[in-house]
Amino acid sequence: MRLSDVSFRYARRGPWILREVELSLRPGSVVEVTGRNGAGKSTLLRLLAGILPPSRGSIAERPAVVGYAPDVFPVDQPFTVAAYLAHLAGIRRIPPASGTALAERLNATHLLDRPLGDLSKGSAQKVGLIQSLLAPPGLLILDEPFAGLDEQTRNELPVIIGEVAADGGAVVVSDHQNQLRDFPGAGHWLVADGAVTAGDGRRPRRAVIEVTVDAADADEVEQKLRADGHATRRIS
């Protein structure tokens, strides 16, 4: 898959979100996308998925089967998990029970009879992941997939990503939390100032700083830092 001179803006006179992006994505590759909030990560993912057409330039050789998991799964829908997955399987022309094995793997079997509206954030994220994997994807796009997941699923997801890649699928993951930092061979795209900078598995140099704040302000400071695209870890 190749992005050639791709630029995008939402309106004819609106600001450019991305400019002259040149990227290639090989089958079997795994790429982590990072950048500050509002930098254009989700727009890039939607261009890759074929949801948005480029305002300029072209995207070629997109795989036929694309799996996409949004950053926040939409639970405001009048279906049980099983009925929802059966509908999505029907849309993809695969057997209605295709989601069952994935639900077992992600420890979500007990959710199948639950209404979508009753799901917690982490459970909803699991349903989003399951629907994106219903058909073996040639391109799998995951927007902040680790947010809210329990530890078991958090550990299982890189394994699933590795399997998709081993089967020849390309995987693109937007990931604030750097959960793929140890994923072997993962590439890295940094979205900033309308440009996308590709690094072949090498991360930009990082520094660790220690910030001491009042305990009452800790949550707020942590949220601000994460919103700016920084990884944080609470020590005490």
Partner 1 sequence: MTLALTRFKLAAYARSHRLLQPVFALFTMMLIFYSTTVPDGRQLTSYADSAGLLIVVFAWAARGLLDTEPAAQRVVSMTAAGGPGREVRAGLLAALAVNLGLAAIAVALPLLAGFAVLPSSGDLARGAGLHLLGLSAGTALGALTSRPILSSPAASMLVLFGGYLGLLLLSLTPAGGFTVPIMPWMRAASAGTLDAVLLPVTAATLFWSAAGALAYVRLRRTRP
Interface ranges with partner 1 (CB under 8 A):
10-11, 46, 49-53, 64, 66-70, 72-74, 76-79, 87-88, 90-93, 128, 131-132, 134, 141
By beta-carbon proximity to partner 1, the closer residue of 79 and 222 is 79
180-187 CB contacts, 8 Å cutoff, 24+ apart: 180/30, 180/32, 183/30, 183/32, 183/158, 185/29, 185/30, 186/30, 186/31, 186/32, 187/29, 187/30, 187/31, 187/32
Q: How far is the CB of 65 from partner 1 (least distance, A)?
A: 8
Q: Decide whether 64 or 208 has the Cβ nearer to partner 1.
A: 64
67/2 Cα distance (integer angstroms)? 18
CB of 62 to partner 1, least distance (A): 10
Q: CB of residue 172 vs partner 1: minimum separation in angstroms?
A: 13
* Nearest distance, CB of residue 202 and partner 1, angstroms: 30
- Residue with Cβ nearer partner 1 (130 or 160): 130
CA–CA gap between residue 72 and residue 68 (Å, rounded): 12
- Check residue 74 and report its DSSP letter: -
Are 167 and 124 in contact, with CB atoms under 8 Å apart? no
Of 132 and 174, the one with the shorter C-beta distance to partner 1 is 132
**Which residue's entry shows tokens 């140099």?**
205
Q: How far is the CB of 72 from partner 1 (least distance, A)?
A: 6
Residue pair 136/94 in contact by the 8 Å Cβ criterion: no
Contacts for 216 with CB less than 8 Å, ≥ 6 apart = none
User: In whole angstroms, how close is the CB of 84 to partner 1 at the nearest point?
Assistant: 9
Q: What is the amino acid identity at position 184?
A: P
Residue 172: partners with Cβ closer than 8 Å, 6 or more residues away: 25, 31, 33, 45, 48, 139, 140, 141, 142, 189
Shortest distance in whole angstroms from residue 165 CB to partner 1: 18
When the beta carbons of 12 and 202 are compared against partner 1, the nearer one is 12
Which residue's CB is nearer to partner 1, number 42 or number 188?
Answer: 42
CA atoms of 203 and 208, how far apart (whole Å)? 14
Give 78 or 204: the residue with its C-beta nearer to partner 1.
Answer: 78
